[in-house]
Structure 1
């Protein structure tokens, strides 16, 4: 994958575009089930996690996943909550700049994973309130699945 300024700008545009008018427990559950259903339809081995304000509101793992996916989710979520951007964006930005994410941010690699799959949940007028995360696929595919699910979910969100 070639990383360009345009690619990074598109990742940021996704974050700007995919914001919620509100986000509560029921929203988290509905979004989580929509991601799980997408994974089932495609025969994917994924774990899905949704957190708001430090509270895990949804967590489910399809067959073929392992406890290791849960650890990746924690580390990806830490990146989003620390940096305010998707874990994929933060990792790709560091790669584009030719720097080590962990060294440049002075962060422990055992606690932070700048790999695709964790996406910020933003509420319009409020800002960052949590994360929606997928683990189990190559990082770009984890990210794309979250973006696809958010796009469809928000298009029908009332």
Structure 2
């Protein structure tokens, strides 16, 4: 799959994975689904769901560390800033041959364009928050979030990001 095809795939996912509404119970259900899916894959993740800057779900799985929590923060900051997944942001930067620092003047210590953070959009188009995981390879982090969101939304299985 070419870089352009991967970017288009990310746009398709962002248009499809939207909630009619999202509340505390949805965050708990989604967070637990991510936790259980990570257990089945033997991942040790930090998991966070935020809505309107409030943390509605947070978990640190056995084997995950403070470093994973920091990666969650950095990935989330990028999604909050750009409104696209952290994976899509990495692809976009790659296609433009630039870095976060060069393009936006942001510090890599606070922003990370690596897969695992995804914007939470409502069907109205309103960006309300993020769901972020860190601890597996970035492609696996991204695909775990995609598949779990698709399951929660009863969306047909998505085409996942293939190995590069």
TM range (shorter): over 0.9
Report what 2:36 is aligned to. 37
Written as runs of structure 1 = structure 2, the 5 A alignment for 1:115-130 is: 115-130=114-129
Structure 1 unaligned residues grouped into runs of 5+: none
Written as runs of structure 1 = structure 2, the 5 A alignment for 1:1-158 is: 3-155=2-154
C-alpha separation in 1, matches of 2:88 and 2:125: 21
**Cα deviation, residue 126, structure 1:** 4.6
The alignment's C-alpha RMSD in Å is: 1.2
Q: Is the 8 A contact 1:3 1:92 kept in 2?
A: no
Q: Give structure 1 regions of 4+ aligned residues with deviation exceeding 3 angstroms.
A: none
Q: Is the 8 A contact 2:3 2:91 kept in 1?
A: no
Q: Is the 8 A contact 1:3 1:96 kept in 2?
A: no
C-alpha separation in 1, matches of 2:52 and 2:128: 6
Q: Is the 8 A contact 1:48 1:134 kept in 2?
A: yes
Aligned residues: 155
Could you list the per-position Cα deviations for residues 17-72 of structure 1 after superposition, in whole angstroms to 9, with x for gaps in the alignment? 00000000110000000000111122111111100000000001111100111111
C-alpha separation in 2, matches of 1:42 and 1:91: 24
**Cα deviation, residue 143, structure 1:** 0.4
**Cα deviation, residue 102, structure 1:** 2.0
